[in-house]
Amino acid sequence: MWGFYAAICSVLDKARICQKCRKKQVVAAKDRNKTVTCKYCGEDIPPPRK
């Protein structure tokens, strides 16, 4: 059961929503703690706060 929960959390942690265009995109695991650029509108998306 723990493995299933950990898999769900890792997938949800990778998804980000752009504040400008409101589209969801999945970020690579290596870029999880970095600011990425939205592939739809070009706006910078900061990493989620914990």
For residue 5, pLDDT over 80 is answered with no
Q: Is the pTM of this model over 0.85?
A: no
Give the pLDDT of residue 14: 82
What local confidence, expressed as pLDDT, does residue 12 receive? 62
What sign results for the dihedral spanned by CA atoms 34, 18, 4, 50? positive
From the list 30, 21, 11, the residue with the least C-alpha distance to 38 is 21
pLDDT in tens, 7-46: 776 666 688 999 999 999 988 888 888 999 999 999 999 9
